[in-house]
Amino acid sequence: MYLFDMRLQGASKALSRKLVACHGRVGEPWLCRGVVVKKKKKKKKKKKKKKKKKKKLGRRAEVKLQRTSAIREPVACRRNCSEAPWKSRTGAFSLKAWRVAELDRAQCKAMVKALRDNKEKKKKKKKKTKKKKKSACRGPVALAQCAHGLPAGALCSQIARAQARPHPRFSTPALSFSLSITKRKDMSDEEPDLELLELLRARFGLNNKNEGPPDTKVLSSAQFIYDNSTDVALDMRSTKAAATLIHAEMQKREYSAATWSQQPLHPQSKDEATLNFIFTMDLLNFSFWSEKSEEERFAIVYQGKRWTGYFSLVALLQRALEQDIPITSPSFWIDEETCTEEVLRTVFSSGTEGGEEIPLFAERVKCLREAGRVLDEEFDGSVATLVEDAQGSAARLVNLLAEKFSCFRDEGTFEKKSVRFLKRAQIFVADVWACFQGEGYGEFDDVDNITMFADYRIPQILQQLSIISYCPPLANAIERFQPIESGHTWEMQIRGCSIWAVELLRREIVKLNPEAKVNAVLIDFFLYDLAKEREKEALEGGGEVMPHHRTRSIWY
């Protein structure tokens, strides 16, 4: 999959492998990008056309031919056209066979014309019969009847029965309605009434299709990005080694969904208020990196401790609730008289003089307003109703968030194909599952379908573990702290390959330990904690912290 760069330049597969051996490893496709190979054109050898030798007839065949040719009747035709000697072997009309039956040329032409006329008449008859069949299916009722394969008169009889008694699929009398088949004045005979068809399908249960399990399409998008990536690569040996290390460390720490609640800032109660807190937290969970130093960056002082990054958001939400500001209430977000910009600036303030303002403050306010409006219009202003509408499916809840809330619709286009990441939508499902430990609001039967949450922290630790590597231009941009625009091909390759790397880690852990209860969510949580631990150790020890890619957006 890494040789296609040179294959496009005209090199053969064998030659491409030699060039990879000379100019770079297979895992680093960008090293082969500058090699240009001209493929030698092979001279095509002109094949001499062999003249077909005429088969010589045997003595018996010659005698038989002489006997048949002596009989001046249509049976004597060697073209197997005893009934019509003027027809060729393939059935096409030909005048070259008239000598066989010793017919006059004018007579032969007349016979050919007569046959052609008969053939055209047969075609016209077939067309007429087809038109008659189509005309039998005109009108909205007949079209619906024909579309669903019902016999003639079956639809009308079923409608008559529906008028007399309620359908067994519907228990309430309000749904047992009667249908009157009428044609609108502005509707032609050929045009179906779409509204009527929908009613008929709903009435007779014709809309129910066997739908498969819901799919977020995040994993398939990640695989597509990895397969077509030219600037980001994964090392399979390092992936296998890291899988053994990660699983051993997770077992040592007894890492599970309950670990989420061990963080002192996370809410401990298992009620609807906690569900609202998690939704607010993940609604605003994006863009915490700073261009300033560790002392000058945005931070929250809460309970006598200084919090930065993601934990600064959790701390400010807890602080606002203690100050009797209902920051986690959806109804508060849409009340612009109470929830003013000044109040929100107080909520998001660092609390220290001269401290940095939280990044993307205006975008966070927009997310709160939009989420409050959508919850009020679609889900009765309740996050619990949103979760219940997913019917216990993690993938369905992720898709519901992406469909209804534009601020959760984390998508893009890579190599002319639409791809999905849905970082914040997935992390909301994961946090609810971990907080409630798979019960109540957190009971999802397909939580294992959730992938890693593509941000900037996990690629950072994956690079430290030598799992992921970048091409020189991308690596230089990251080392120099150059910003990468959201939606850039580099950014998409980093995010997509990171998701696929964690999926490979999960598969390797399950392969080594089939009884291991591990999914991408737990691996992501562990890698994030590991990244923060190593960063803290580096800062305390005076060492350098490996930089991460810098993209300013609301997606992560």
Q: Which of 70-74, 129-133, 447-451 has the lowest mean pLDDT?
A: 70-74
Mean pLDDT to the nearest integer, 302-325 = 94
The alpha-helical segments, DSSP class H, found in 267-393 are 272-283, 310-322, 330-333, 341-347, 361-378, 383-389
DSSP tag of 420: E
DSSP 355: P
Which residue numbers are catalytic? Answer: 455
Residue type, 261: S
- Say whether pLDDT at 226 is over 90: yes
- 395: Cβ–Cβ under 8 A, 6 or more apart, which residues? 213, 214, 215, 216, 446, 449, 450
Mean residue pLDDT across the chain:
78
User: In sequence order, what are the residues at sequence separation of 6 or more whose Cβ sits closer than 8 angstroms to the Cβ of residue 207?
Assistant: 201
pLDDT value at residue 131:
55
List 413's β-bridge partners, or say none.
Answer: 418
Q: Minimal CA–CA distance to 309: which of 532, 76, 6? A: 532
* Interatomic CA distance for residues 247 and 508, integer angstroms: 10
- Those residues whose C-beta lies under 8 Å from the C-beta of residue 205, and which sit 6 or more positions away, are 167, 169
Residue 6: the pLDDT is 46
Written as six digits, the tokens of 427 are 């992390």
pLDDT tens digits along 433-456:
999 999 999 999 999 999 999 999
Give the confidence band of 208 by pLDDT, cuts at 50, 70, 90.
Answer: low
**Cα 550 to Cα 338: distance, rounded to the nearest angstrom:** 35
pLDDT band at 171 (very low <50, low <70, confident <90, very high): very low
Phi then psi dihedrals of residue 257, to 5 deg: -65, -30
- What is the pLDDT, as a whole number, of residue 236? 95
Rounded to whole angstroms, how far apart are CA atoms 276 and 379? 13
Residue 115 CA to residue 94 CA, distance in Å, equals: 11
Cα–Cα distance measured from residue 296 to residue 355, given in angstroms and rounded to the nearest whole number: 6
Buried b (16+ CB within 10 A) or exposed e, 309-330: bbbbbbbbbbbbbeeebebbbb
Reported confidence tier of residue 206, pLDDT bands at 50, 70, 90: low
- With bands split at pLDDT 50, 70 and 90, how would you rate the model's confidence at 122? confident
Backbone phi, then psi, for 260, in 5-degree steps?
-60, -40
**What's the mean pLDDT in 357-368?**
95
Distance CA 254, CA 252 (A): 6
Q: Give bridge partners of residue 270 from the DSSP assignment.
A: none
- For the cut 60, the answer to whether the pLDDT of residue 242 exceeds it is yes
